[in-house]
């Protein structure tokens, strides 16, 4: 058997609606036979405790509420597993940013119960994925925890998400825009994705949809979000950032854009830059490697419009010396990372050149 299967992994249900946080019981009930859920909530969600509880009570369910301790680390996961056992919960719900959701996924994974995640921003495509990123107690990357299943439920309260700072929505658009170009690279190389198979027609259609919808609606959506209007464009971009890109990357694969992101963030060079922002710069580097001038121009225009970084200076690396750049390039080309999914071999030297070229071109145009 030399041929890899086409695999499609996805959450069982993705639900998006304004005010959804007040109605979680309705969606969680079918997955929670015991009727008791542990809700792990970001601190800014705690004032909503009464409304959350009422939403579960309407379905005859009980909620045990735990405030997130701040880090997705072993100690926090153990603490929450204890809380879950004491309250006899048979389901976990995470409400907040990426670390809260990953903690909920990890707790559910170890307790072997269903999990629902409710992102409070659309800043990356991680919520839908079967992956949790674990950190040490002092915030350094510890390990990736691959999960056997995607979350059973992804519950997106678009009222809450649209009210988050617009920079988060823009960062999510950067992460989502890269989805198509990375899937295209993986399809060309027949790379194996994190789903365990190769990209099929459905994954590629979803990945392409990220790009097409963002090019059509991204500008309007961002302007609306900045003006505090939750319009149809905002709703569509939230769905693209969270679902289409999440399912698109997991089944379509990652390539140079994420390899560049991983390397810059891995050496700690861009502490103030968000994941999706760094991926946007990585995408310009990938298109430079691919010598795709036409798409480079489209993506550059989009990134400028969205306020996403386009140059080394934009990611805080304007003064980066050649040795440091070589270190980043070597890290990005590591054989265990997504650079191997490119349809041609990328050497650290070629990558250094592409990073400089992408940055200079973006500066000039």
| Residues 147 and 132: beta-carbon distance below 8 Å | yes
Non-local CB neighbours of 316 within 8 Å, separated by 6+ positions: 269, 270, 271, 272, 273
Q: What are phi and psi of 53, to 5 degrees?
A: -60, -40
Residues 6+ apart with CB under 8 A from 141: 133, 135, 266
Instruction: Give whichever of 53 and 258 is closer to Zn ion, judged by the CB atom.
Output: 258
The answer for 120, left when phi > 0, alpha when psi is -120 to 50, beta otherwise, is: alpha
- State which residue, 91 or 161, has the beta carbon closest to Zn ion: 161
CB of 310 to Zn ion, least distance (A): 18
Those residues with Cβ within 8 angstroms of residue 233's Cβ, 6 or more apart along the chain or in another chain: 217, 220, 221, 224
24 vs 117 by CB, closer to Zn ion: 117
Rounded to whole angstroms, the Cα distance separating 313 from 172 reads 21
Closer by beta carbon to Zn ion, 63 or else 173: 173
Nearer to Zn ion, 111 or 123 (CB): 123
Nearer residue to Zn ion within complex by CB, 39 or 164: 164
Which of 197, 204, 177 is CA-nearest to residue 276?
177
Residue 230 phi, psi (nearest 5): -95, 85
Could you tell me if 16 and 156 are in contact, meaning their C-beta atoms sit under 8 angstroms apart?
yes
Give me the least distance between CB of 276 and Zn ion, in Å please.
7
What is the nearest approach in angstroms of Zn ion to the Cβ of residue 298? 20
Kindly list the residues in this chain that would bind Zn ion in the complex (CB under 5 A).
175
Residue nearest to Zn ion (CB): 175
Residue 245 Cβ, how far from Zn ion at the closest point, in Å? 8
Name the one residue in this structure whose structure tokens are 């009422």. Answer: 54
Biggest CA–CA distance in the chain, Å, is 62
**Which strand (E) or helix (H) includes residue 96?**
strand 91-96
- Minimum distance of Zn ion from residue 175's CB (angstroms): 4
CA–CA gap between residue 46 and residue 37 (Å, rounded) = 16
- Tell me how far, at minimum, the Cβ of 328 lies from Zn ion, in Å: 18
Cα–Cα distances in Å, from 153 out to 31, 95, 105, 130, 252?
Answer: 9, 12, 11, 12, 21
- Residues 226 and 170: their CA atoms lie apart, in Å, by 10
Residue 159, both tokens: 């009222």
* Strands 36-41 and 91-96, sheet pairing: parallel
Which of 56/249 has CB closer to Zn ion?
A: 249
CB of 252 vs Zn ion, minimal distance in Å = 12
- Which tokens sit at 4? 């890899």
Write down the least CB distance from residue 122 to Zn ion, Å: 12
Nearer to Zn ion, 52 or 134 (CB): 134
CA–chain centroid gap for 225, Å, is: 19
How far apart are CB 93 and Zn ion at their closest, in Å? 23
Q: How far is the CB of 199 from Zn ion (least distance, A)?
A: 16
Looking at the Cβ atoms of 21 and 247, the one nearer to Zn ion is 247
């Amino acid at each position: 058997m030399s041929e890899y299967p086409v695999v499609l992994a996805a959450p069982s249900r993705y639900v998006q609606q304004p005010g959804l946080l007040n109605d979680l019981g309705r969606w969680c009930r079918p997955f929670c036979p015991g009727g008791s859920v542990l809700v792990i909530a970001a601190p800014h969600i705690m004032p909503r405790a009464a409304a959350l509880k009422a939403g579960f009570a309407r379905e005859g369910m009980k909620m045990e509420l735990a405030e997130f301790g701040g880090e997705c680390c072993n100690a926090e996961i153990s603490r929450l597993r204890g809380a879950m056992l004491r309250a006899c919960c048979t389901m976990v719900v995470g409400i907040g940013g990426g670390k809260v959701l990953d903690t909920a996924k990890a707790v559910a994974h170890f307790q072997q119960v269903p999990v629902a995640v409710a992102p409070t921003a659309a800043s990356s495509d991680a919520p839908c994925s079967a992956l949790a990123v674990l950190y040490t107690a002092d915030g350094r990357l510890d390990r990736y925890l691959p999960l056997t299943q995607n979350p059973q439920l992804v519950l997106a309260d678009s009222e809450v998400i649209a009210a988050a700072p617009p920079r988060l929505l823009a960062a999510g658009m950067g992460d989502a825009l890269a989805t198509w170009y990375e899937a295209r690279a993986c399809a060309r190389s027949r790379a194996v994705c994190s789903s365990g198979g190769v990209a099929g027609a459905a994954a590629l259609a979803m990945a392409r949809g990220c790009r097409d919808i963002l090019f059509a609606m991204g500008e309007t959506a961002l302007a609306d979000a900045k003006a505090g209007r939750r319009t149809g464009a905002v709703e569509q971009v939230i769905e693209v950032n969270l679902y289409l890109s999440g399912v698109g990357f997991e089944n379509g694969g990652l390539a140079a854009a994420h390899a560049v992101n991983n390397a810059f963030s891995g050496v700690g060079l861009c502490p103030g830059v968000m994941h999706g922002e760094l991926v946007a710069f990585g995408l310009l580097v990938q298109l430079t490697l691919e010598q795709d001038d036409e798409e480079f121009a489209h993506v550059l225009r989009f990134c400028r419009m969205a306020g996403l970084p386009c140059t080394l200076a934009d990611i805080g690396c304007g003064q980066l010396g050649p040795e440091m750049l070589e270190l980043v390039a070597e890290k990005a080309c590591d054989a265990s990372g997504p650079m191997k999914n490119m349809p041609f071999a990328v050497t650290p030297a070629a990558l250094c050149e592409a990073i400089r070229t992408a940055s200079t071109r973006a500066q000039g145009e």
